[in-house]
């Protein structure tokens, strides 16, 4: 369910941005007739796209672990840019159109750069000074607990309760390496030793 929502959301965001881009280009480089014609043709699909875009966004915001305040910034930016754009295209106001396009691209940019993969990759070197027996626990609390919960029982973003997992240690390590559905692959983020450490840590939770 979560993964389906995530894919739908991403696709809708892309389509949404594309329509905005085309409209802005028409506004700047073409006649108002062409813009009006395009806006009229795209009206119904655009309504469907923006409804799906907002509905999946709301679902994701509710069901995603606490990823940080950037999520609220993003939501605010999107909500501010939509009425701006509506006014801009209606009145043919180029400045407003540009501002709203920049805001939307900015919102898209923060989701990309603040996404778990990006954020986590920048945290890895932090484990260097940590005593080896604590590495698993530290990695878990920093990289895994916002979906799995500090106790491993969390089920945010469609995560599995790790204390109830019946997978073997090897299978768990495979999932940690390759990721699964909403869980990102860690093979490029953590070293093999770190993956083994956190694998052992979560395996011990299920015993
Ligand atoms: C973005 C959220 C998220 C993060 C962060 C995350 N996971 Fe997961 N994890 C999931 C989801 C979702 C699943 C279920 C995948 C499926 O089977 O559909 C899962 C499944 C697992 C499983 C398999 C459990 C089972 O019985 O099927 C293990 C083990 C696991 N995660 C360990 C970890 C470890 C260790 C980390 C940190 C290095 C981590 N996860 C980080 C979301 C996350």
Asked if 129 and 86 sit in the same domain, the reply is no
Q: Would you put residue 148 in left (φ > 0), alpha (ψ -120 to 50) or beta?
A: alpha
Q: Determine whether the shortest distance from the Cβ of 176 to ligand 1 is under 6 A.
A: yes
| Helix-helix angle 70-91:32-63, to 10 degrees | 160
Q: Is residue 119 part of a domain?
A: no
Mean pLDDT of the chain: 83
Q: Whose CA is nearest to atom 30 of ligand 1?
A: 176
Atom 7 of ligand 1, residue of closest alpha carbon: 183
- Domain closes at, from 114, 133, 167: 114
Ligand 1 centroid from CA 160, angstroms: 6
**Element spanning 104, H or E:** helix 94-113
| DSSP code of residue 160 | -
185 in any annotated domain: yes
Higher pLDDT among residues 186 and 118, named by residue: 186
Domain count, the chain: 2
The kind and range of the H/E element at 76 are helix 70-91
Domain that residue 180 falls in: 125-205
Q: Tell me: do 74 and 137 sit in the same domain.
A: no
Asked if residue 23 and residue 49 are part of one domain, the reply reads yes
Per-residue pLDDT at 162 exceeds 70: yes
Is the per-residue pLDDT at 41 higher than 80? yes
pLDDT of 44 > 80? The answer is: yes
pLDDT at 118 over 60: no
Output the residue whose Cα is nearest ligand 1's atom 9.
Answer: 159
Same domain, 69 and 15: yes
Judge if 13 and 108 occupy the same domain.
yes
Cα(2) to centroid of ligand 1, in Å? 13
């Amino acid at each position: 369910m979560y993964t389906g929502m995530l894919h739908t959301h991403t696709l809708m965001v892309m389509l949404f941005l594309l329509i905005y881009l085309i409209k802005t280009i028409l506004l700047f480089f073409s006649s108002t007739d062409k813009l009006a014609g395009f806006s009229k043709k795209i009206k119904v699909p655009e309504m469907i796209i923006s409804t799906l875009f907002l509905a999946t966004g709301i679902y994701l915001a509710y069901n995603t672990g606490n990823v940080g305040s950037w999520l609220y910034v993003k939501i605010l930016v999107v909500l501010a840019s939509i009425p701006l754009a509506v006014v801009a295209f209606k009145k043919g106001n180029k400045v407003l159109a540009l501002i709203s396009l920049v805001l939307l691209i900015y919102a898209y940019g923060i989701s990309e750069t603040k996404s778990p993969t990006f954020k986590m990759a920048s945290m890895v070197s932090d484990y260097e000074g940590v005593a080896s027996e604590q590495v698993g626990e530290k990695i878990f609390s920093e990289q895994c607990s916002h979906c799995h919960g500090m106790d491993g029982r969390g089920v945010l973003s469609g995560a599995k309760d790790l204390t109830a997992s019946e997978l073997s240690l090897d299978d768990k390590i495979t999932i940690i390496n390759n990721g699964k559905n909403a869980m990102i692959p860690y093979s490029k983020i953590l070293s093999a030793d770190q993956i083994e450490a956190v694998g052992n840590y979560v395996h011990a939770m299920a015993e």
